Copies of this chain bind each other. A is one copy, B any other.
Amino acid sequence: MARTTGSDGEKTEAAVREAAAGLIARYGYEAMSMRRLAAEVGVQAAALYRYFPTKEDLLFTLMREHMEGLIAAWEMARPTTAGPKARLAAYVQNHIAFHIERRHSTHVSNMELRSLSHDRLTRILRMRTAYEKELRAILRDGTEAGVFSIEDTGLTAMALIQMMTGVIVWFRPGERLSVAEVTATYLSMTMRLVGAKIDSAAAAYSVERPFGRAENAAGV
């Protein structure tokens, strides 16, 4: 047989991306065979090559779009006029919300870097560095303004990112804690970690448009 009834290129490609992210997150890039992926999508392996010339192209596409999405989300969420503390709060909220929302591609982007070619690895790492640079800038500004007390800006940024991204390792939606509760707790841990001075302005941590659904509930 050949073309199947109701088949549609765009739908198939989207299904391939989603299935690939799920399978790679669960079993790893090397462990996912193209035949297994095709079966998950409900298609023959050869059909995948209409959308992605090689397996590595597929991996790279997932990673690139993950990073582009993360940076775009931050550009939407970032407060431009606010002080260091509100900006840090926005960064934390955006980061956690984005990574929980996209658990699978986060896993892929964090675990499968080693399967990229040198050039593509460089491109992904460049995006990542740009994103992390934003956090370092916030920490530096806060330290210079005397709002934070931080010993080493770069090291603190790495520690915070590892801590926040680590949420996806254990967090499962619908269990003991909600996204809002987790975010609120991580936010206060972050503020203590950077030695943020407590101030009386009640809305100090709140931010206008966090990524994803409105989950500002927890009283922070």
Binding site for B on A (CB under 8 A): 26-31, 111, 114-115, 151-152, 155-156, 158-163, 165-166, 169-170, 177, 182, 185-186, 188-189, 192-195
Give 21 pairs: A residue, B residue, CB < 8 Å, sorted on A. A27-B114, A28-B114, A30-B30, A31-B115, A152-B177, A155-B177, A155-B186, A156-B185, A158-B169, A159-B163, A159-B166, A159-B186, A159-B189, A161-B166, A162-B162, A163-B163, A189-B193, A192-B192, A192-B193, A192-B194, A192-B195
A177 neighbours in B (Cβ, 8 Å): 152, 155
Report the nearest B residue to A196, measured CB to CB.
B192
CA distance A111 to B189 in the complex (A): 26
CA distance A158 to B177 in the complex (A): 14
Contact indicator A115/B28 (Cβ below 8 Å): yes
A169 neighbours in B (Cβ, 8 Å): 158, 162
A166 neighbours in B (Cβ, 8 Å): 158-159, 161-163, 166
Most chain B CB within a 10 A radius of its CB, from A151, A163, A188, A195: A163
Of the candidates B31, B114, B186, B193, the one whose C-beta lies within 8 Å of that of A26 is B114
Contact indicator A185/B152 (Cβ below 8 Å): yes
A115 neighbours in B (Cβ, 8 Å): 28, 31
A152 neighbours in B (Cβ, 8 Å): 177, 185
A114 neighbours in B (Cβ, 8 Å): 26-28, 31
A188 neighbours in B (Cβ, 8 Å): 151
CA distance A166 to B160 in the complex (A): 10
Report the nearest B residue to A161, measured CB to CB.
B166
A192 neighbours in B (Cβ, 8 Å): 192-195
Contact indicator A170/B151 (Cβ below 8 Å): no
A28 neighbours in B (Cβ, 8 Å): 28-30, 114-115
Pairs of residues from A and B, 5 with the lowest C-beta to C-beta distance, nearest first: A162-B166, A30-B30, A163-B163, A193-B193, A30-B31
